[in-house]
Structure 1
Amino acid sequence: MSASVNILNKVDRFLAGSMKTIIIAVIVMATFTMFLQVISRYVFQVAISGLDELAGHTAVWLYLMGAAYGTYERTHIKADMMHLFVKSPRVLQVIRAAAAAVSVVISCYMTTWAFGYIKWSILKHEVTPTLRLPTVIFQLPILIGAFLMVVYFLREFIDILRRGPQVSPVSEQEG
C-alpha cells in the first residue's frame, strides 16, 4: 500500500471517528436538554428559556452529521430499484454512476450555498433569539456535512466506475 493511500485511510478513519463522536455528543446533549425541559416544566412548573432553542439547533448538527456519516457508510437513503427493471449490468452501472454524479453535483451546490450562508451570517452578526448564541455555530454543520457528502459521494462515484459492471446481489437471487 502506498504512503498516500495510507494517509488517506488515516484521514478517512479520523473523519469517521469525528462524525461518530459528534453524533453521540449531540444525541446526549439533545436528550439532556429535552429531559431537563420536561422535568423543569412538568415537575417544578418552571420554564427554562432557551432549552427548546438549543435542542432545535442541536438537531441540525445531528441531521447533517448523520447524513454525512450515512454517505460515508453508504447507508444513505436511496431508491435503488432499477435492478428490478434493468437486467444489463452495464446499464445498471451507468445508472448508478449517473445517480452518484448527480449526488456529487447537488452536494457541491449545497456546500457552495452553505458557505455563502455562513459568510452572510458572520457579516450580519446573526444570533439566536433567546440565548444570543452566534447562529454560525448551528449553520456550520450544514457546510461541514455538505462538504463531507461531496467527498463521500465522489468516492462512491469513483468506486462505481472502477468496479465495472456487476450483477446486483438482489437480482442474482431473483434469477
Structure 2
Amino acid sequence: MDRFASIILTVLICVVALGQFVQVITRYVLEIPVMGLEESLLYPTMWLYMLGAVNASRENTHIRANVLEIFLSSTKQQQVLAVIGEVISLTVGIWLTIWAWDFTKYSIRVWRESPTLYLPTFYVDVALITGMVLMMIFTAWHLIKHLIVLFSPDTPTKES
C-alpha cells in the first residue's frame, strides 16, 4: 500500500509540475500560451490534493498542534486525548463527507463541462467524495487502534 500510494502521488506531482513548467515557458518565455492547459491540470491537481490528504490520514501524519500532550504525564492520559481528537476528527469529517456526497450528486445531475476543452468536471468533483470517504475510513481505523491501546490491561500508567 505504501509503495502504491507513493507511486501514484509521485506521478501526479510530476504531471502537475511538468504542466506548470510548460505553461510558464510557453506563456512567459515564448509568449504563446497553451489553451486549456490550466483546466486540464485541474484533474491531476485535485486528485493530488485529495490523495495526499488520504495518505496523511493513512500514515496519521497530519499537522497537529499537540500542546496538551506536554502537560500530560501518563500514557493513558495521552491515549484519552488521542481518542478525543480522533472522535472530533471523525465527527467533522463525516459532516464534510455528507456535504461532499451532496456535491457529488449535484455534479452527476448537472454534468458540468470545462469552458475551453469541454471536459466533464465530474472526474474532478468525484475526487472530493473519494478522498473524504477514504480519510474517514483511516480516521476510524486510528480511533479503533487508540481505543484498543487505551483499554488494554497492560497500558502503562506512567511514562518511563
TM-score category (smaller protein): 0.7 to 0.9
Q: Is there any run of 5+ residues in structure 1 with no aligned partner, and where?
A: 1-12
Aligned amino acid, residue 95 of structure 2: Y
> Residue 119 of structure 1 aligns with which residue?
105
* 1:83-111 deviation per Cα after TM superposition (whole angstroms, max 9, x unaligned): 21222433322121011111112222222
Q: Is there any run of 5+ residues in structure 2 with no aligned partner, and where?
A: none
> Residue 150 of structure 1 aligns with which residue?
136
SS of residue in 1 equivalent to 2:35: coil
> Residue 5 of structure 2 aligns with which residue?
19
Matched, 1:52 2:6: no
> Residue 93 of structure 1 aligns with which residue?
79
Number of matched pairs: 156
Q: TM-score, normalised by structure 2?
A: 0.85
The higher-RCO structure (CA 8 Å, 6+ apart) is 2
Q: Is the 8 A contact 1:37 1:48 kept in 2?
A: yes
Task: Find the aligned partners of 1:125 and 1:53 in 2 and give their Cα distance.
Answer: 16
- Which of 52, 65, 87 matches 1:66? 52
Aligned-residue RMSD, C-alpha: 2.1
Q: TM-score, normalised by structure 1?
A: 0.79
SS of residue in 2 equivalent to 1:58: helix
Structure 1 residues 107 and 58: alpha-carbon distance in aligned structure 2, compared to 1, 3 A threshold = same
Matched, 1:141 2:95: no
> Residue 29 of structure 1 aligns with which residue?
15
